[in-house]
C-alpha cells in the first residue's frame, strides 16, 4: 500500500513540482542514500543539517534507483539541469516538508497511539510497553531511539492498516520542536517519564523545558505520570487539569490514582511491587532492583492497569523483561573486574541512578569502585558548580577511583580530592595510556561524542577471539523487503529453528527483534527450542515442527503448538486430550517431500479421529520440495494442487477455516499465487541462501570474524600443521587464527580448500584445520597480530564459502559453536 502519490505532495507541503514523469506511488521515505531500498517507489528527502547536506547525495541516490526527490528550492537550478527522468518537488524547507507529509499520512489512521516524552527512560518505557501491548494488539513501536525531528516522522511513516496500537517517543532540545512532533504523532494517550538536566541548553530553565515537552499532550485524552515529580505535576495540572484525564502514581502521596509500595524479598532475587487503587490492590514481582528501572516499570504498570490489562496478563511478561541495549548493562571485565556499561548518556541525574546500581553490585562482591566519566555536555549549570556537584555525588557513593575524560572535567581536576584521580583530555589518550584494573567494579559513563564504548571494549573480558556479528538492522531490512512481496493480509512465520540458523544465542536478541517488528508466528524444530524462547520473554505463537507425545504436557504449560504429521501422533494427542486441556495444533500434509506428513489416502480416517476431540486446528500446511528450481516447477504446481485438495477436504469436515501455508523463502518469490494465509520465511530472512537474481536486494545478517593470533615466516620445504599436509613450495608468511572445527570452521576447509579475507584479499587456509585454530597464507599482505580476519560476511559470501566444500549455507551457519561470542548491532 502506498503512503501517498506524488501528486499529493505539492498540496501537502505547499511545494512546487519541478519535474514530473508520472504520478508514481510513494512506498517508503529515504533520507540517507546509504540506506537499502526495500520498496519499488521510494521518495528521497534531501535534508539539510548542521554537518551534512542531503543534496550532495542526490546523485548517489539516483544511481541506486531512486526517482522521486524533495529538494530545497535554492538548489533547484543545479539539480534540474542534471535529471529529467525523475519526479522532483521544490520546497522551502525539506525537513518541514518531511514532517508535513508524515503528519498528513498519520491523520489517515484511527487507532490508539501512546506518545512518550521525558528526560530519561523514554526508550526503555517504549520498548517495555511494546512487550506488554504486543501480547494483545498488533503494535508498532518507534525503532530504538527514533525520537528526533527526523526520527519521529520516519517512525510514524511505518504505520500500516494492520496495526492496532502504536507507541512513539519524542525528545527535544529547544523551544518549538515538540509542537511539530505532536502534529506528527497525534497521540491519543501521553506518558511523561521524568525531568532532568539533559539537553537543557535550548531552554531558559527547567520550567520552560517541562512546558515545552508537555506540548506533546495538547490533543491527548489521558496523560500518565509520576506525581512525585513536582514540577511535572504542577505544570500538567496547570495546563491540562481542567481539560484532560490525568492519571498519576506515587511512592509517597496517597492523593494519587496508583500508590506504590516496594518490598525487598530477602530470600529471593526479586522485588515485590504492590500497587493500590481505591478499589483493589495488585502485587507484581520483578527482577529489577534499581530506582530507575522500578520507575520505568511502574509507568508501564499504571498505564496497563488503567487500560484493561489484568494482573495475570502482566506478571509473566514483567518477569521476562530485560535491560534494553544501549542502557546500563553489567558485563564481565578483565582481571576479575565487573563493568557497568552506561557509555551513551551523561548527566547528573542518570549518573546518580547508575551509582545507585553500582552500590547494589558492590555490596554483592565487595569490589573497589571506579568511575570512568566524560565531560557532561548540554548542561545549563555553570561548569564549576556542575563538577563540584559531581565530586560530591562520587564522594557520597564512596567511589575509590575516578578517571575523567575530556578537557572540561580535566580543567576542574582539583575539585575531585576524595578519590584517587587521573584525567585525560581525549578517549584516545586514555586508550594509549592503558590504566591497569584489577578486582574493581567499573562504571563507564559518558556522552556519546566521547565514544566511551571503546573504553568498555578495551577492558571487557574477551573469552574468545572469534565473534559472530549479527546485524539486526539488516534483518529488519530483509524482513521489510519480503513484506513488499506479500499481500497486505498475508501473515509471516519466521523459522528460527537451530538457534535462528546459527545466528541466535541464549540471549535471543534476534528473535526479540522479529517479535518487535511484527512477525506473526515462529517456527522451531523441537519443543526445547520453544521452551527456551518462552523463558526469555517471547510471546508470539510458536509452532513445533517435530513434537513427541511425551512433551504434550510441557507444550500446554508453555503454550507451544505441535505439528501433527501422522495418524498415530493424532491418536496419541487424542488420548492426552481426554484428560488434559485443549492445545492448538498444526496439520502437516504429505504432498511430495516424502519426509513427514499425512498422506492423502489417510485423510478420511485422520478426519474421523480429529472430530472425536475437536482440538483447535491453527493451520494446515505442507512443504515444497524444489521451489527454487525452474526444472521442478511442474512438480511444485502438482504439490500445490494436491495441498489445496487435501486442505479443502479437512476444512469441509472441521467447520472452521484454519490458516493455510505452503511457501518457503524461495516459494515466496517464485509462486506468489500460493501465498494463502501465511508464508514461512527461513534462510532468506538472514540474507543468504537465495538466488543470485535477488541477492543484491538483501543483506547478509551474519558476519563471522576472528583475529590474527601470531605471524610466522616459513622457508621453502617447511611443513604446516598436523600430519604435515601442506609443504611450503617457496618462502611464505602464515598467520594463525583462533578458530577451528570445534567452533564450526569445518576441517574440510584445510589444505587450500577454504579461504578467508584479510585486508580485502583472499587468503587460503593451509595445513589441516585444528580443533581450536587454523593457519592461513598471508604472503604478500602487510598483516600483523590483531588484524581482523573475515570468515564470511558481506565481503565474502557464506554461499561462496559453502560451495567450496560442496555444502549449503544452512549447514555452515548452524554448525557455528555456542562458544563463539555473539554480538548484535543495529
Instruction: Provide the annotated active-site residues.
Output: 497, 722
Grouping H, G, I as helix, E, B as strand and the rest as coil, residue 284 is strand
Instruction: List CB contacts of 412: < 8 A, sequence separation 6 or more.
Output: 383, 384, 387, 388
Backbone angles phi, psi at 630, to 5 degrees: -60, -35
* Sheet with 42-45: strands ordered across: 16-19, 87-91, 68-72, 42-45, 28-30
Sole residue written with cell 509462486: 671
Q: How many angstroms separate the Cα of 327 from the Cα of each of 125, 445, 459?
A: 12, 10, 18
H or E segment and range at residue 223:
strand 222-226
CA 105 to chain centre: 25
Quote the CA–CA distance of 610 and 590 in Å, as a whole number.
17
Quote the CA–CA distance of 674 and 652 in Å, as a whole number.
20
Sole residue written with cell 514461512: 680
Grouping H, G, I as helix, E, B as strand and the rest as coil, residue 525 is coil
Query: Which spans in 523-632 are helix H?
Result: 527-535, 552-557, 567-577, 603-613
Cβ(563)–Cβ(544) below 8 Å? yes
Angle at 472 between CA 466 and CA 476, to 5 degrees: 150
DSSP 366-409: --EEEEEEEPPPS--S-HHHHHHHHHHHHHHTT-SEEEEESHHH
Q: Whose CA is closest to 394, among 428, 420, 375? A: 420
Q: How many angstroms separate the Cα of 149 from the Cα of each of 97, 100, 226, 665, 719?
A: 12, 12, 26, 37, 62
H or E segment and range at residue 708:
none
> What SS3 string covers 4-39?
EEHHHHHHHHCCEEEECCCCCEECEEECCCCCCCCC
User: Is the alpha carbon torsion for 519, 520, 522, 523 positive or negative?
Assistant: negative
Amino acid at each position: 500500500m502506498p503512503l501517498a502519490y506524488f501528486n499529493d505532495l505539492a498540496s501537502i507541503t505547499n511545494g512546487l513540482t519541478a519535474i514530473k514523469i508520472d504520478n508514481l506511488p510513494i512506498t517508503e521515505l529515504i533520507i540517507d542514500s546509504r540506506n537499502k531500498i526495500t520498496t519499488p517507489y521510494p521518495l528521497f528527502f534531501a535534508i539539510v543539517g548542521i554537518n551534512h547536506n542531503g543534496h550532495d547525495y542526490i546523485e548517489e541516490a539516483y544511481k541506486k534507483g531512486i526517482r522521486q526527490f524533495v529538494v530545497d528550492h535554492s538548489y533547484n537550478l543545479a539539480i534540474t539541469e542534471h535529471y529529467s527522468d525523475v519526479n522532483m518537488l521544490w520546497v522551502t524547507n525539506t525537513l518541514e516538508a518531511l514532517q508535513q507529509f508524515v503528519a498528513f499520512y498519520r491523520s489517515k489512521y484511527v487507532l490508539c497511539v501512546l506518545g512518550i516524552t521525558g528526560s530519561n527512560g523514554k526508550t526503555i518505557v517504549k520498548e517495555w510497553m511494546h512487550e506488554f501491548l504486543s501480547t494483545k494488539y498488533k503494535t508498532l513501536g518507534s525503532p530504538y531511539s527514533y525520537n528526533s525531528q527526523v526520527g519521529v516522522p520516519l517512525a510514524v511513516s511505518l504505520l500500516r492498516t494492520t496495526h492496532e496500537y502504536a507507541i512513539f517517543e519524542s525528545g527535544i532540545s529547544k523551544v518549538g520542536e515538540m509542537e511539530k512532533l505532536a502534529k506528527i504523532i497525534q497521540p491519543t494517550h501521553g506518558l511523561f517519564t521524568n525531568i532532568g538536566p539533559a539537553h537543557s541548553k535550548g531552554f531558559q530553565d527547567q520550567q520552560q523545558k517541562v512546558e515545552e515537552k508537555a506540548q506533546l499532550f495538547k490533543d491527548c485524552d489521558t496523560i500518565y505520570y509520576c506525581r512525585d515529580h513536582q514540577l511535572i505535576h504542577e505544570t500538567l495540572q496547570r495546563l491540562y487539569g481542567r481539560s484532560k484525564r490525568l492519571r498519576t502514581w506515587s511512592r509517597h502521596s496517597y492523593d494519587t490514582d496508583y500508590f506504590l509500595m516496594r518490598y525487598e524479598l530477602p530470600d529471593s532475587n526479586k522485588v515485590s511491587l504492590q500497587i493500590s487503587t481505591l478499589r483493589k490492590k495488585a502485587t507484581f514481582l520483578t527482577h529489577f532492583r534499581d530506582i530507575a528501572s522500578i520507575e520505568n516499570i511502574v509507568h508501564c504498570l499504571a498505564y496497563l492497569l488503567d487500560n484493561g490489562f489484568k494482573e495475570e496478563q502482566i506478571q509473566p511478561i514483567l518477569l521476562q523483561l530485560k535491560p534494553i541495549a544501549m542502557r546500563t548493562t553489567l558485563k564481565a571485565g578483565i582481571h576479575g573486574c565487573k563493568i557497568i556499561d552506561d557509555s551513551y548518556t551523561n548527566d547528573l541525574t542518570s549518573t546518580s541512578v547508575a551509582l545507585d546500581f553500582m552500590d547494589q553490585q558492590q555490596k554483592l562482591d565487595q569490589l573497589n569502585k571506579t568511575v570512568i566519566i566524560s565531560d557532561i555536555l548540554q548542561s545549563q549549570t555553570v561548569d564549576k558548580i556542575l563538577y563540584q556537584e559531581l565530586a560530591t555525588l562520587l564522594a557520597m557513593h564512596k567511589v575509590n577511583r575516578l578517571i575523567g575524560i575530556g578537557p572540561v572535567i580535566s580543567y576542574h581536576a582539583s575539585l575531585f580530592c576524595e578519590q584517587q584521580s587521573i584525567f585525560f583530555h581525549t578517549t584516545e589518550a586514555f586508550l594509549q595510556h592503558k590504566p591497569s584494573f584489577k578486582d574493581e567494579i567499573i562504571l563507564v559513563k559518558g556522552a556519546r561524542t566521547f565514544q566511551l564504548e571503546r573504553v568498555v571494549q578495551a577492558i571487557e573480558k574477551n573469552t574468545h577471539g572469534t565473534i559472530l556479528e549479527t546485524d539486526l538492522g539488516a534483518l529488519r531490512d530483509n524482513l521489510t523487503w519480503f513484506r513488499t512481496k506479500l499481500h497486505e493480509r498475508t501473515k509471516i512465520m519466521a523459522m528460527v529453528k537451530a538457534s535462528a540458523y546459527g545466528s541466535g544465542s541464549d540471549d535471543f536478541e534476534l528473535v526479540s527483534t522479529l517479535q518487535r517488528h511484527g512477525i506473526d508466528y515462529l517456527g522451531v524444530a523441537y519443543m526445547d527450542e520453544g521452551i527456551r524462547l518462552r523463558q526469555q520473554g517471547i510471546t508470539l505463537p510458536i509452532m513445533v515442527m517435530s513434537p513427541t507425545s511425551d512433551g504434550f504436557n510441557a507444550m500446554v504449560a508453555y503454550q507451544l503448538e505441535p505439528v501433527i504429521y501422522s495418524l498415530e501422533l493424532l491418536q496419541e494427542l487424542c488420548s492426552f486430550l481426554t484428560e488434559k486441556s485443549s492445545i492448538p495444533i498444526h496439520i502437516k500434509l504429505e504432498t511430495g517431500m516424502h519426509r513427514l506428513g499425512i498422506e492423502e489416502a489417510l485423510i478420511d480416517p485422520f478426519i474421523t479421529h480429529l472430530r472425536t476431540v475437536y482440538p483447535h486446528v491453527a493451520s494446515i500446511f505442507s512443504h515444497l520440495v524444489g521451489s527454487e528450481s525452474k526444472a521442478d516447477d511442474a512438480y511444485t504446481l502438482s504439490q500445490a494442487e494436491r495441498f489445496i485438495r487435501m486442505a479443502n477436504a479437512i476444512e469441509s469436515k472441521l467447520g472452521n477455516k484454519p490458516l493455510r501455508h505452503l511457501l518457503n523463502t524461495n516459494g515466496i518469490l517464485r509462486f506468489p499465487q500460493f501465498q494463502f494465509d501465511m508464508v514461512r520465511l527461513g534462510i532468506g530472512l538472514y540474507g543468504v541462501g537465495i538466488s543470485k537474481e535477488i541477492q543484491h536486494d538483501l543483506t547478509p545478517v551474519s558476519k563471522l570474524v576472528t583475529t590474527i593470533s601470531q605471524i610466522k615466516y616459513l622457508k621453502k620445504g617447511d611443513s604446516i600443521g598436523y600430519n604435515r599436509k601442506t609443504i611450503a613450495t617457496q618462502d611464505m608468511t602464515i598467520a594463525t587464527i583462533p578458530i577451528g572445527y570445534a567452533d564450526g570452521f569445518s576441517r574440510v576447509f584445510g589444505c587450500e580448500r577454504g579461504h578467508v579475507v584479510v585486508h580485502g584479499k583472499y587468503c587460503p587456509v593451509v595445513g589441516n584445520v585444528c580443533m581450536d585454530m587454523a593457519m592461513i597464507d598471508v604472503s604478500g599482505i602487510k598483516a600483523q597480530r590483531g588484524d581482523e580476519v573475515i570468515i564470511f560476511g558481506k565481503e565474502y559470501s557464506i554461499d561462496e564459502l559453502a560451495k567450496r566444500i560442496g555444502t549449503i549455507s544452512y549447514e555452515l551457519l548452524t554448525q557455528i559453536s555456542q562458544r563463539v561470542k555473539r554480538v548484535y548491532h543495529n
